[in-house]
Amino acid sequence: MELTKRSGLRLGIGLALLIAASPMLTACDEPAAAVAAQPVTPPDVSYVAVKPQPFAIMRELPGRIAPTRVADVRPQVSGIIVERLFHQGSDVKAGDPLYRIDPKPFQVELMAQEAALAKAEAVLDQATRHARRIATLAHQHVASDAQNENAIAARRQAEADVAARKADVAKARLNLDYATIRAPINGRIGAALVSEGALVVPNDTTNLASIQQLDPIYADFTQSVSDLNKLRRAFVRGDLEQIEPGAAKIKLIVDDGLYSHTGKLLFSDAKVNADTGQVTLRGEFPNPNGELLPGMYVRVMIEQGIDNDAIAVPQQAVQRGRDGGSEVYVVKPDNRAALQPVRTGAVHAGKWLITDGLKPGDRVVIEGFQKFAAGDLVNPQAVDQVATSSISPDATVTKTSRSD
């Protein structure tokens, strides 16, 4: 009986507590329902409206620096080197003395030839006077015609001997001048390959030093014949506009960035390398400060055509998909974001060249990717069209960048 009373009491207390708490539970559900009923504000995203604009197509090709001229310093006479007259690695001018060969043997030879010339001139003077006297006597019929002819022949032989002796003197003087070895060209001279006391002879296989002309300087680079054929086909189809002859400018990319001077294209080789399938091209660049040295590896940017209908977007707009392909977010007419696969051709100055996947007027998202997912409603905000427009016609675009 007592147990029944206690159970009834507990049941009554529970019902009373439940009745008292029911208004509080109702009050808690009202704010949650109100929040769920409020509309969600679409996130703000920035976009650019793409439009075609012309710009130059550049090819970035590997190359090497080469000197304009190279001259090996060699002796033209035999002798012992007695003095070196240049600093290794310095710039020299054509005609500057570089080495001095012992001149004494050549001085003695010159003196001997000058003496022989003086003797020949004395003989000529005597023969001339004798021929004049015989001619007078022959005119007076005192000397015979045979004597006159012999006198004339002796004079002519003396004249020939004088000419020969003059040639010997000139040769001896030239050899004495060759005893001072001079620079054949302007340029930078390298290491001295012989020292004082060395015996040098003409036609030796070893040169004394090498001089390289470095201003202007060449950049030799190669391009595959397949790329050249693609370029020609693009011109034929009208996809690219050909640059006027003589207007092509080339630039260099070195270790610390873009080289400050613009070069000019000299020629394109008329044959294809059978081993590599490449054709060789050469450009010429000013090098007033000697920044470019022979053998340096560089990248050459050569302007080869103009794309009049190119579309480019800021670099941050291009995303990588799960399959590794490139894609961008575009804002559809209903203001919903959608993923659009694209093909990229080149990147320059923070912009990707889009070769396929976009059309003029598409709104490409460039900021706010973390605020939405594909298919979400967004609030598109246009950004400055001047700052994000396509690359200008005189901009440079490389063709070795990412391509999908």
Between CA 200 and CA 195 the distance in angstroms is 10
Per-residue pLDDT of the chain (404 residues; tens, 9 = 90+): 444 444 444 545 554 554 454 555 444 454 544 444 455 788 888 888 888 876 666 777 888 999 999 999 999 999 999 999 999 988 899 999 999 999 999 999 999 999 999 999 999 999 999 888 888 888 888 778 888 888 889 989 999 999 999 999 999 999 999 999 999 999 999 999 988 898 999 888 888 999 999 988 999 888 777 776 765 665 565 544 454 554 556 788 888 778 888 888 776 666 677 677 787 888 888 988 888 888 889 888 877 666 667 788 888 888 888 888 888 888 988 988 888 888 887 666 677 778 888 888 888 898 888 888 888 888 888 886 444 444 333 343 334 334 44
The three-state secondary structure class of 190 is: coil
How far, CA to CA in Å, does 250 sit from each of 159, 266, 400? 64, 10, 16
| CA separation for the pair 276, 45 (Å, rounded) | 49
Domains along the chain? 46-55+308-382 (2.40.420.20), 57-67+214-306 (2.40.30.170), 76-101+180-206 (2.40.50.100), 103-178 (1.10.287)
Q: Is the bond preceding residue 393 a cis peptide, omega within 30 degrees?
A: no
Rounded Cα distance, 352 and 394, in Å: 16
Residue 199 identity:
L
* Burial profile 246-281: b = 16 or more Cβ within 10 angstroms, e = fewer: eebbbbbeeeeeebeeebebeeeeeeeeeeeebbbb
Angle at 366 between CA 330 and CA 352, to 5 degrees: 90
Q: What is the DSSP string of 107-125?
A: HHHHHHHHHHHHHHHHHHH
The pair of three-digit structure tokens given for residue 347, joined into one six-digit string: 């990147």
